[in-house]
Amino acid sequence: MSVLSASKLQVQGRHRDLLPATSLEAQRGTLLLVQGDGQERRTALALTLTGRMRPTSGSVHWGHEGDIAHLRRHSALIDAPDVNEPEQHLSVQDLTAEDLALVPRKFRDRTRPAAWLAEHGHADVAAKWVDELDPEPRLKLLTDLALANADVDVMVVDSPDRHSADPQDWLPFLQRLAAGSGTAAPVRPLTVIVTVATIPENWHGAVARLGDTPPEVNTAGSPRTEPALNDESQETK
């Protein structure tokens, strides 16, 4: 089974680490939550894990391949602030047209945006503006658009908790997405990594934290033990 693994990924900023050395591992079909303080740092991790930013040091592999072009081809960055977060003045149809135009030509769906939205289960939001969308319909739309590229196996979702402090508005959907049942796109298990400001209290799956090497990761997805939750050595640096 394919694994995305990062070893001591670090990005040096102008005055301090933009991304402190961080290691993590996530398997296909699993959802990994990565806690980190500061939106800038969370976005730096998301960019690095998808090959959109080169680390100053460390490495990231998808499967046995460490080539950054391979990583970029097989990953999607979802909703990163100031990077590819949809502009709020866009209509859903305009966003759809823009994103489908970026899909590699061999996978490009030339269906008109309104027809594509209806075909993929988004007819109820087709007439809306992006800033009208609730967290889950927003995620469904953005991930379906990313999955229009059939090469995508890894999704890194940047800080969905900024749209809602209630994890029920986004966490169950992302669990279904990792399992391959969250979207109208062809079903396939995905590796889904989500950066968050705080780990939800009811989350018992895989966890990592910015600055952890090695991280607190349970790749089997079984509940974390209470000592792991209370271990002061796992607190954010």
Total-model pTM: 0.86
Token output for 145: 């658009």
* 9-38 residue pLDDT tens: 999 988 888 999 999 999 999 999 999 999
Kindly report the number of other CB atoms within 10 A of residue 193's CB atom.
Answer: 29
Q: What residues does each domain of the chain span?
A: 3-89+152-234
From the CB of residue 151, how many other CB atoms can be counted at a distance below 10 Å? 14
8 Å CB contact between 60 and 21: no
Model pLDDT for residues 61-92, shown as the tens digit of each residue: 998 888 899 999 999 999 999 999 999 889 99
For position 182, what pLDDT does the model report? 65
Predicted local distance difference test score (pLDDT) of residue 183: 64
Q: Which residue has the tokens 């796109």?
A: 185
Q: What is the pLDDT of residue 139?
A: 96
Contact (CB, 8 A) for 166 and 198: no
Question: Residue 79: which of 67, 94, 95 has the closest Cα?
Answer: 95
pLDDT tens digit string along 125-174?
999 999 999 999 999 999 999 999 999 999 999 999 999 999 999 999 99
pLDDT the model gives residue 220: 39
Record the tokens describing residue 94, joined without a space.
């305009």
**Token representation of residue 58:** 């460390």
92 or 189, higher pLDDT: 92
What tens digit of pLDDT does each residue of 91-117 get? 999 999 999 999 988 887 778 999 999
Work out the mean pLDDT of the chain and round it to a whole number: 87
CATH 3.40.50.300 assigned to domain 3-89+152-234? The reply is: yes
